[in-house]
Amino acid sequence: MNQEMMRQEMMILGIDTSCDDTGIGIVRGDAVLANVVASQTALHEAFGGVVPEQASREHLNIIDTVCQQALARAGVRLDDIDAVAATYGPGLVGALLVGLNYARALAWSRHIPFIPVHHLAGHIAAASSEPPFLCLIASGGHTSLFDVPAWGHYLELGKSRDDAAGEAFDKVARLLGLGYPGGPALSRLATEGDADAFAFTPPLRQQTGFDFSFSGLKTAVATLVRNQPDAAAADVAASFEHTVVTSLVHVTRRALKQTGRNRLVVAGGVAANLQLRKSLEQLSLELNVNVFVPALELTTDNGAMIALAAQHQLSQDNITNITTKALAIDAAPYLPLHSE
């Protein structure tokens, strides 16, 4: 059996505990057999954001239960798993260590390979597209643009200089009194508002590179809310959302033209935003580009995307051996995505 056939037959269990969701997924080849995510939203809601120590303890409390649920949903036993993968960075260090150590122990005890995966590589793999392509990652913690000529080769063209897009959504939602997490609530409110009500300046409009910036936009919203307390919240939300989407699409359009790529992958939690998806449909028609967006359950942090990324990292050596290097790898809270 050649390497590609072996890869397609392998069943991989993937774990992501990079932030506040405990995600465990099981895939065989490109097929997702199970994807279980235990949310901690209720735990952190009272604080208006993620409390790292609380997140780590909750991962520790429920990770074994989530693993059993994933196995049951996939209809397989632990003995059927051929390899275990886990996020080792970036993320909250305590949270990362829970999933990483659980995965390493599981692989070591079963004498099967352990595959450490970069969190952003998981997001890139979630759309199940084949390189070469351009990838926009927009989430609560990351906003980046990558050129991906082949699996394992990642060239970062640009990234956020400050707040990530999803982070800006949550902060503006808090300004509007929408609670936590605020991104989805803000998008729902925006459907009732007028996107042309307030003319926010799109950030970095004149740049020659491909970076993003949303901190100034957030400040503009805060100033508006302070100076015009009677401004309709729905109009503010719609205008803000429109400006963020416009910025993401504008930068991506320029990158597509410069690189000549005709395939675009959009990943991360903000990829679920309906206005962004509509704008991407228009971009697809405008530039004759194929746009790939993950299924909604694969846009936010989850274990299945880590297992899918692990499929692409497999080589003949780590199919047959548990390497000391992989088992010894440590959690890396700040970890750029570079070519392997």
| Per-residue model confidence as pLDDT tens for the chain (340 residues) | 455 555 667 999 999 999 999 999 999 998 999 999 999 988 888 888 889 999 999 999 999 999 999 999 999 999 999 999 999 999 999 999 999 999 999 999 999 999 999 999 999 999 989 999 999 999 988 999 999 999 999 999 999 999 999 999 999 999 999 988 888 999 999 999 999 999 999 899 889 999 999 999 999 999 999 999 999 999 999 999 999 999 999 999 999 999 999 999 999 999 999 999 999 999 999 999 999 999 999 999 999 999 999 999 885 444 544 456 788 899 999 999 987 7
Give yes or no on whether 3-125+298-328 and 133-293 have one common fold: yes
The one-letter amino acid code at 213 reads: S
- Helix 233-259, helix 274-287: angle, nearest 10: 30
Per-residue pLDDT tens digits for 75-111: 999 999 999 999 999 999 999 999 999 999 999 999 9
The set of residues, in sequence order, having a beta carbon less than 8 Å from that of 62 and lying 6+ positions away, is 22, 38
C-alpha to C-alpha distance for 63 and 37, rounded to whole angstroms: 10
Tokens 């729905």 locate to 234
User: What CATH number has the domain spanning 3-125+298-328?
Assistant: 3.30.420.40
User: How do the domains of the chain map onto residue ranges?
Assistant: 3-125+298-328, 133-293
Which H/E stretch holds residue 5?
helix 3-9
The one-letter amino acid code at 221 reads: V
133 phi-psi bin (left φ>0, alpha ψ -120 to 50, beta other): beta
Q: How many CB atoms lie within 10 A of CB 318?
A: 17
For the 133-293 domain, the top CATH level (class) is alpha beta
The set of residues, in sequence order, having a beta carbon less than 8 Å from that of 105 and lying 6+ positions away, is none
Q: What is the residue-wise DSSP string for 217-262? A: HHHHHHHHHHH-TTS-HHHHHHHHHHHHHHHHHHHHHHHHHHH---
How are the residues of the chain apportioned to helix, strand and coil, as percentages rounded to the nearest 5? 50, 20, 30
pLDDT (0 to 100) of residue 24: 98
C-alpha to C-alpha distance for 142 and 167, rounded to whole angstroms: 8
C-alpha to C-alpha distance for 102 and 89, rounded to whole angstroms: 15
Take residue 202 and report the two structure tokens written for it. 């799109």
C-alpha to C-alpha distance for 251 and 88, rounded to whole angstroms: 29
